[in-house]
Amino acid sequence: MTADHEHPVLAGRPFPLGAHPEGGGVRFAVASSIADAVEVCLIDDNLVERRVELTERTFGVWHGLVPGVTDGQLYGFRVHGPYDPTRGLRCNPAKLLVDPYARRISGTLTDVDAALGYVGEYMDWTPSAVDSLGSVPLSRVTAPGGADTGTAPNVPWEETVIYEVHVKGFTKSHPEVPEHQRGTYLGMAHPAVIEHLQRLGVTAVELLPVHSFVDEPGLTAQGRNNYWGYSTLGFLAPHAAYASEPGREVEEFRTMVAALHAAGIEVLLDVVFNHTCEGGLGGPTLSFRGLDAPAYYLHSANGGGFDLTGCGNTLDAGSPTVVRLVTDSLRYWASELGVDGFRFDLASVLGRPGGGGFDRNAGLLTAITTDPVLSQRKLISEPWDATGEGYRVGDFGVQWAEWNGRYRDTVRDFWRSATGVAELAYRLSGSSDLYDLSGRRPWQSINFVTAHDGFTLRDLVSYNHKHNEANGEDGRDGTDDNRSWNCGAEGSTDEVSVLELRARQARNLFATLVLSTGTPMITAGDEMWRTQGGNNNAYCQDNETSWMDWAPTDASEAMLTFARRVVALRADCPALRQAEFFDGRETPSGMPDLVWLHADGREMTETDWFDDSRRTLMMWIDGEDCRGRSRLGEPLEDHSWLLVLHSGAEPARINTPPDEYGRCYEPVLDTSTADGVPADMSPLTSGTTLTVPARTFLVLKVRT
């Protein structure tokens, strides 16, 4: 290590934060309201360090322009200041810190002990003198600019079909992707991969975390990895391991976005602004903790932990430092990297400033929705955290879409015959009970039956219980509330009747998801019959358990054919993806916009709704007033539709509705067949008695 006395630091400016090449050098700016001094540490490839003190402090930001520094320079910060963990103060200049605004981060955490800010038991609060250089990630100066990200597709919400996908796992085993590009941003951009997305019919990919992340110490000690990536280190840096060529993660990310945009597919990011990779109080000091822990994290009165996330720490949504970091990060990804929207992990935390009660108008949530850039992006909340107070499905503000956990639970319960039809009706029609009164639209209900966290679709119909032994936690991890049904055998089986029933149940769940009013989210691989062997928490399974298996089988090909058919049906039928809630209004046909029908063809009565043993429901939708518009703003019209959902274990006899609902009913979809094509496509007349097979979803086009 050497100190620099020959190249005086120029004052520079405090904003924007980060490292920015300009004026024959690089201007560094980092926020710390508690520091007594801050050094920027310039590091060469041999880990030789040159320290330069930033002497200017403005608005709590330490800044300076260092002459002679160029793009690509490795650097970090050392912070001198108070070390009093009982007040949450953790400054320790022995710990080299990553810049929270770094746009590239190199390396990873290789020695946890060297990164700890204390020695002995962490409650002793004795500062560590061990230098962490060589054991921790480093920031890298990154000049602006790069590949064009193309023209944003701007897909209307009511047309949106989201595909939740992991960048690495999706292409790691893809036979048509060049080997060096598998598991990378360029792998996602490969024509064969994009063709799969287009043929499936999805309009947006929602990427699991691509912010730079590191493995938790506990996983590292076990020789495991955080595969999902919910352990963020750098909120502006793309994860370097997803680049096919080291150091080109920014350029390759832009190339991926451009390729998807050219195919008409939007790019949404799953972002984690509720906690960081530094973990609980005993965790490593890598960045935020050493810069200004009270400005980033919630603390109790004696400096203790405050954990709303179940991940060891919680970012303080009420801190101006956090508000600035979150909005600066989002704006960077949206403006410079071409991202079309964001899904916010454990988003209730963002509405709990200081760790208090939830407020939909909290400062951070308001800052996001009122930002001139971010307000034009798709904004999706996961409306819960790890506490009871944080469960806020339906409670977010008017500009937020939400993961609808109640949709998932209700649809799973209905198809395993564990509930009646009362709540199902709300979920099929856009969840007006959750979203209408707050001024939102039905497409702000993000409907899903599976996600990365939980069973795959195949496992949902193949296991009654989780099987997480491979995670190394003795089966304690992962939820026990799966609402799954194995159809008669746990896991792998050769029994033909069980396999056929599983496939039918999967088709029922998938068709319900895609054809419900709202925005469907498909989990990558469900359309390819992907299994995780019953593991419902595969966060540390960076292997074939989590990677997409592209090898075709009869079962995977049949499911893919069915999935494409259902997604195409939704795209072609605006009445099945309405932009406004049904409200019983009279349509040009003289009928209400939506009618719920009993199996015998009559309208449902109050008594019918409260019969929890009921397993059959018919949904008639008037297509003449479907409240949809083309992208040019022209009103859309459609046929009327009859949806028949029957989850009973025995066949059901139904009557098609009387003449006033339509005189002709043409079968369009039948989940009792492998490809969804009805075995008999002969039109039915009104009042016809029809036998619906056990556990079947029918869709019929209605003609007058």
Catalytic sites, residue numbers: 345, 382
Locus of tokens 């009805």: 678
Distance CA 87, CA 446 (A): 41
| Number of helices followed by number of strands (H, E) in the chain | 16, 32
b/e per residue 444-473 (b: at least 16 CB within 10 A): bbbbbbbbbbbbbbbbbbbbeebbbebbee
Beta bridge partners, 666, equal: 701
Distance CA 396, CA 373 (A): 20
Q: Which amino acid is at 315?
A: L
Which of helix, strand or coil describes residue 77?
strand
The full length of the chain comes to 704
CB-based contact 115:286 (threshold 8 Å): yes
Distance CA 601, CA 619 (A): 10
Structure tokens at 637: 């019209």
Greatest Cα pair distance, the chain, in angstroms, is: 93
Task: Tell which phi-psi region holds residue 484, choosing left (phi > 0), alpha (psi between -120 and 50) or beta.
Answer: beta
Cβ partners under 8 Å of residue 372, min gap 6: none
CB-based contact 25:65 (threshold 8 Å): yes
Torsion sign, CA atoms 451, 453, 456, 457: negative
Structure tokens at 311: 């991940």
DSSP one-letter code for 9: P
Which of helix, strand or coil describes residue 253?
helix
Which of helix, strand or coil describes residue 438?
coil
How far from 193 is each of 138, 203, 240, 342, 549, CA to CA, in Å? 33, 14, 21, 22, 13
